[in-house]
Structure 1
Amino acid sequence: MSTIAPPPHWEELVTAALLGTDRRPAPGAETAPALLDAAAVHTVRRRAGLTPAAAGELPAPAPRDGRARLPGPARRRLALLLADRAAPAQSGGRRGSTPDLTELLPQWLAAANGHRYRAPEDLLPALLDAARARTDLRPQALEFAGARGLWLARLNPEWKYALRGTSGGAVLPDLEDAEAVRALWEEGLFAERVRLLGAVRAADPAAALTLLTGTWATERAEDRLMFLDSLRTGLSAGDEEFLEQALADRSRNVRAVAAELLSALPASAFAARMADRATSCVSPDRTGTLGGIVVEAPHECDAAMQRDGVVAKPPAGRGERSWWLGQLVESAPLSAWPPRLNGRTPQEITALPVSDGWGEELHAAWCRAAIRQGDATWARALLGAPSVPPEAGTGTASLAERAKLLTTLPDAERADWVAGFVSAHGLSEAFQLLGVCVVPWSQALGRAVVDALDIARDAGSYPWSFSGVMGLAERCLDPGEADRLEILTTTPAEAEGASPGAGGYWSEAFQRLVGTLRLRAAMMRELSGEAEAP
């Protein structure tokens, strides 16, 4: 009785295909057609012979989300925003006249979260995909997605970003349950502990400090640094003793943060020590020749200064004495300077001449102190009048530092100052300053920006030279300004000496601005329920 030869192994067929049947024929498949036939048969046999895998465990049901449902028009708007794909950029930097829907999504999410709406279940995958592609969307998108979004994220590795820093999607214990809070603090993962400490600090600063002090000695240096940073929320005199102990920490970074936090407590013993050091270096001119401020920077950085967080070694290109002086002045309470300088006000102090070229260093340190201490009076003095050019002002020419100083002012005052700056100096240096103003911009600020854009248009320049400011205007102008801006959408006559075609490009830019403002207004109506279909 004849026997049927066993079919060749798959590996033999692969080897024969790679080397050629003439060099390495497979048993029973010595020719190319026979090899292909054998491979086809083997493929069918392998597929048909697979053993079914064991059924996996079904996921737990998605948690309930008790927030309100989106109004119908708002839900449809969200679907459009998530489905939109930005059109390819036009040649020459042109963006066209159509609003960019992707730039509206962050504002839509912020407004929806403000209304406490829950995300539609069928749009959760698209929402998580959008946040995966854009890190700037993640905080608002994950808040909107809620517990169901985190539940879904655990089922798809591409959405694992949603679980980072969120306790893996776990819900924090009731903060009133001291035992559960203590258990999570002592046994939880690092991300869980960071989140827990932040939540407790926001609710009860003293309780958070108690948690932290209980385990401080056993924490790793990098963890201590992160935990210490949480004390910025609710910082008070009650934290002083702990922060003083942290000044002796073995980690330089921890010591630096502790010193920075203590300097934000003007009544602390640390602030008094720094005031003594700083005022010994800065004094009124008593000779009568200068009539201003005399500076004698430190000649050494002793052990006591280093213990209080003063870094002895300056960065490359920086002199030691100016480096030490800056650290002392920025850490001293600003209240120390009027008594030291003959009772003068901050405005009078910042206007005084400073000896031997120390003015820039001294004023820059005062700026940092005003930002750290949130002192609006000193911020006003250092900012000066918005009409004064930055390089001629009393404080710092750095626009980044000026933007930080502005954050210490009330919202309305901040907007008025920036409006005055834009009116006086135009938009070329205003981008960072505009970024710290609350949205929507005040009427005065919005009109100053639009007027400056109109002036730039009349000057014949191209609009993409101001694309950053135009993008801010689309996101930050009051939507109620759309009708007033309609006149700017027309194409002006081309002035002599203007860049070719600039008028048409500006018309497109203003059409996009007006269209975006109207879309934002429609979005707000939809989210408020005003646009609900009957």
Structure 2
Amino acid sequence: MNRPATAAAPSGPHSAAPPGPAPHATGPADAPAAPGPAASDLPGVWEDLVTTALLGTDRRTPADSPSGADAPAALLDAAAAATVRRRAGLRPARAAGRPRPAPEDPRPGLPPAAARRLTTLLTDRSGASGGGRRGAAPDLLELLPQWLAAANARGFAAPPPVLPALLDAARGRTDLRPAALRFAGPRGLWLARLNPDWRFALRSAPGGGTSLPGPGDTERVLRLWQEGLFAERVALLSSLRSREPSAARELLATTWATERAEDRLMFLDSLRTRLGPDDEPFLERSLADRSRNVRATAAELLSALPDSALARRMAVRAGACVAVDHTGDAPLLAVEAPHECDAGMERDGVVPKAPAGRGERSWWLGQLVEAAPLGTWSRRLGGRTPQQIVALPVGDDWRSELHAAWCRAAVRQRDAAWARALLGEPSAVEAGGPGAVSLAERAQLLGTLAAGERAEWVAGFIGTHGLPDAFQLLGVCAVPWAPPLGRAVVDALDIARDAGSYPWSFSGVMGLAERCLDPAEAGRLDALLAVPDEAEDASPGAGGYWSEAFQRLVSTLRLRAAMLAELDPATPP
């Protein structure tokens, strides 16, 4: 808003030019000096001048100013005079206190090569353009999360000069925030307090940067719990729960009755960490909470404790709905879904109202089976193993509903034996096995298995069913991918290339391979870099696109290997 004053200074009545004829024949410079507006009128005068400048002097003339060709010069003169008055009327403000010095970060600094690499990753925008061909160059921005994870695993501190760029990157990508803020450390939080654009760091960091008291400091723990901000209280409860579960639960009980419903729900969720039998009395009391969401969460947590009273009640209810029918030529599972949702079921977390398009009885049945301990089914169904139970036919089209509920129970109870039974063999004709009804459920079931077994199952699935259905399954596998899984993905991409289709159909899997394939696999891919001979039925130019995609994959893998070597100078590149 000071630009008009700058433009008018050389020719206005308040300029520092020597005395002489006014530069304008007519206008305010020739008129006798009029008393300036009162200080209280200056804001209104300035707003009037700004409005006139925006509209143009041909559409609006300032008060007490000539019209016509002299109006623009008169407007600039008036703006210059108003600017001087505004500045002259300012009173010196009290000097703000200096910010406290940034805290020390005891972690070791990055090796020089790794620091240069981080600067490149934070400033590169080659992969940020939307649409079009990506070319053969690696997408450096997509490698930043992996670089941060590796740097945090080695305990390095962020170089102070890159902290602004690091906070900017975390501001734009929520998936980067946990790793970026951990890497930024205490100096990053100190810097975030000085810039409103980085306030997210104070909300995202545990306690907003507040040092949390240890479990032995009872007085500070109670004071922070009773007087702290909500984020600080959540951080305190989570920290305490990870170290002393009983102390965290007892602290929560001291204020439970006076907490808001949404806060009770968040606090109750913290009990998932190190959930154990000692938590049952507190959770059982929470079944009578006035909030439906709190009751549902308490019931879910109790159902994850197979020996809890709620789990036993659910086992009785679910067992009454499912039985083995021996009247036919072969045994099958007969299902009789509940005919009502009584008060006891509702108290134990069963939601009575079914979603739109869902039958009430099937809705109630799914909730009962999902909450019943999986270990009780073998006893109730003739001593059969999970594989034998899942293999039994189910009468009256209840199979999908029953197996889907068992899938949810296996995920909730982290039961690997039931997960294997529901997944089935990866080479089965029915993609995903006898119990999985969706890719999302298959991915959740895989999450209950150990990393090696998970990778082996997905590799077998890709070998049988190819890549189109494997994207979600690959997302739950540990990084870097185990050698069998990596080879299965590369072989499937090679088969897709030979089929003559465009690589864009596999861009998601290719992007995952760039981030998740073991860098040691780069040497095996050299044979795929050449442009293949195109078959008659191949898509035009597909071979060149595939060659480009594999070049980018190999370049990215070698870049990842170099990144890791730079973070560990003892390892030769």
TM-score grouping bracket, smaller chain normalisation: over 0.9
Q: Which of the numbers 129, 140, 156 marks the counterpart of 2:179?
A: 140
Residue 296 of structure 1 aligns with which residue? 336
Higher RCO (CA < 8 A, seq sep 6+): 1
Residue 149 of structure 1 aligns with which residue? 188
CA apart distance, 1:50: 4.0
1:409-451 C-alpha deviation (Å, 9 max, x unpaired) = 1110000000000010000000000000000000000000000
Matched, 1:262 2:290: no
Matches of 1:193 and 1:40 in 2, distance apart?
A: 54
1:358-412 C-alpha deviation (Å, 9 max, x unpaired) = 1111111111111110000010000000011445832023110010000111110
Matches of 1:407 and 1:479 in 2, distance apart?
A: 24
1:5-404 alignment, distance < 5 Å: 5-6=33-34, 9=37, 11=45, 14=49, 26-27=63-64, 31-32=70-71, 33-44=73-84, 46-47=86-87, 50-87=90-127, 89=129, 93-166=132-205, 167-390=207-430, 393-404=433-444
Q: Which of the numbers 523, 531, 535 marks the counterpart of 1:491?
A: 531
- Paired residue type of 2:425: A
- Paired residue type of 1:77: R
CA apart distance, 1:464: 1.1
Matches of 1:485 and 1:527 in 2, distance apart?
A: 25
Structure 1 residues 389 and 164: alpha-carbon distance in aligned structure 2, compared to 1, 3 A threshold: farther
Q: Secondary structure at the match of 2:246?
A: helix
Structure 1 residues 85 and 295: alpha-carbon distance in aligned structure 2, compared to 1, 3 A threshold: same
Is the CA contact (8 Å cut-off) linking 1:489 and 1:510 kept in structure 2? yes
TM-score (norm 1): 0.95
Q: Which of the numbers 414, 417, 428 marks the counterpart of 2:468?
A: 428
- The alignment of Structure 1 onto Structure 2 pairs a total of residues equal to 530
CA apart distance, 1:351: 0.3
1:498-534 C-alpha deviation (Å, 9 max, x unpaired) = 111100000010000000001110111111123699x
1:42-69 C-alpha deviation (Å, 9 max, x unpaired) = 4345446644332111111111110111
**Percentage of matched positions with identical amino acids:** 67
Structure 1 residues 131 and 289: alpha-carbon distance in aligned structure 2, compared to 1, 3 A threshold: same
Matches of 2:323 and 2:286 in 1, distance apart?
A: 31
Structure 1 residues 367 and 35: alpha-carbon distance in aligned structure 2, compared to 1, 3 A threshold: closer
1:115-149 C-alpha deviation (Å, 9 max, x unpaired) = 11111001000000011111110010000001110
Q: Which of 432-441 and 288-297 deviates more?
A: 288-297
CA apart distance, 1:5: 2.8
Matches of 2:162 and 2:230 in 1, distance apart?
A: 31
Is the CA contact (8 Å cut-off) linking 2:432 and 2:442 kept in structure 1? no
Residue 527 of structure 1 aligns with which residue? 567
- Paired residue type of 1:73: A
Matches of 1:271 and 1:520 in 2, distance apart?
A: 48
1:319-368 C-alpha deviation (Å, 9 max, x unpaired) = 11111111110100011111111111111110001111111111111111
Is the CA contact (8 Å cut-off) linking 1:390 and 1:398 kept in structure 2? no
Is the CA contact (8 Å cut-off) linking 2:426 and 2:432 kept in structure 1? no
Is the CA contact (8 Å cut-off) linking 1:491 and 1:504 kept in structure 2? yes
Q: Secondary structure at the match of 1:512?
A: helix
Is the CA contact (8 Å cut-off) linking 1:390 and 1:396 kept in structure 2? no
Residue 517 of structure 2 aligns with which residue? 477
Matches of 2:309 and 2:52 in 1, distance apart?
A: 84
CA apart distance, 1:20: 5.0
Structure 1 residues 309 and 38: alpha-carbon distance in aligned structure 2, compared to 1, 3 A threshold: closer
Is the CA contact (8 Å cut-off) linking 1:441 and 1:477 kept in structure 2? yes
TM-score (norm 2): 0.88
Is the CA contact (8 Å cut-off) linking 1:246 and 1:258 kept in structure 2? yes
Residue 414 of structure 1 aligns with which residue? 454
Matches of 1:493 and 1:520 in 2, distance apart?
A: 30
CA apart distance, 1:287: 1.8
- Paired residue type of 1:383: L
- Paired residue type of 2:152: N
Q: Which of the numbers 455, 476, 490 marks the counterpart of 1:450?
A: 490
Q: Secondary structure at the match of 1:52?
A: coil
Structure 1 residues 344 and 264: alpha-carbon distance in aligned structure 2, compared to 1, 3 A threshold: same
Structure 1 residues 367 and 16: alpha-carbon distance in aligned structure 2, compared to 1, 3 A threshold: closer
Root mean square deviation, CA, Å = 2.2
Q: Secondary structure at the match of 1:261?
A: helix
- Paired residue type of 1:446: G
